[in-house]
Amino acid sequence: MGLDQYLTSKAEIKNIRWATEKEKEKENRYDRDVIIIFPDESTKKVKEYEVSDIFTAEKNFHIFEITEITATYVVISHFPSESAERPQTEIIPKNKITHVLYTHAYWRKANQVHNWFVTHIQNSTDDCNPYEVTGQQLFDLIQDCLTVLNKKTKESAEKILPTTDGFFFGNTDYNEHYFQQLQDTVKNLIDIDINKKYTYQSSW
């Protein structure tokens, strides 16, 4: 319960590979909903992302859980419809997968960041719907975070990235936790593609 915030993006399957069991064991990651993406082909920089949807040419599967990954297929459980009471198992051949939807960034009760999205992206409508956001707009958010972090005063924070209250939205004070959330935001968004489109969505 409370404010959860997700920034997601689509990736073509040719640009990613699934994490191996050995890699996940090395990182103490035993969940099976992790892929490894190479956002920079020149440096081969590796970063892990959580997958929420798998796309084929025929269908989109919203993942409840990835239960197995082999060299040729991915086994998932998913709810086939909104009215379904139990998830069903689906075996998806890897060569049929065209895209995946992955979580680029996640915030928990960072209400000042949420307020920025509501004000700058959602036309001041806070309705938990998905909204498209460009890489340039995310770059603007980074710049706002850095401005507040450089000044580190309540006055600049209230003016540029004010907090907002809501149903279990978290603390609204301008304290160290507030500034730490801004540092985390910069860290999470530092490798965004300015020419790419993302989706922001919140829930509570």
9-18 per-position pLDDT tens digit: 988 887 777 7
Please provide the average confidence, as pLDDT, over all residues in the chain.
88
Rounded to whole angstroms, the Cα distance separating 124 from 78 reads 33
Sign of the four-CA dihedral 110, 112, 115, 120 = negative
Rounded to whole angstroms, the Cα distance separating 167 from 94 reads 41
Average pLDDT over residues 128-148: 97
Rounded to whole angstroms, the Cα distance separating 70 from 68 reads 7
Rounded to whole angstroms, the Cα distance separating 59 from 63 reads 12
Indicate the range of 38-47, 110-119, 190-199 predicted with least confidence.
38-47
Which residues have C-beta within 8 Å of that of residue 119, sequence separation ≥ 6? none
Band of residue 45 on the pLDDT scale cut at 50, 70, 90? low
Rounded to whole angstroms, the Cα distance separating 26 from 106 reads 23
Q: How many residues does the chain have?
A: 204
Does residue 142 surpass a pLDDT of 60?
Answer: yes
Half-sphere exposure of 133 (CA within 13 A, CB side): 30
198 and 117 in contact (C-beta within 8 Å)? no
| Eight-class DSSP state of 72 | S
Sign of the four-CA dihedral 151, 155, 161, 166 = positive
Check residue 130 and give its pLDDT: 95
- Residue 112, classed as helix, strand or coil, is helix
Check residue 19 and give its pLDDT: 73
Band of residue 24 on the pLDDT scale cut at 50, 70, 90? low
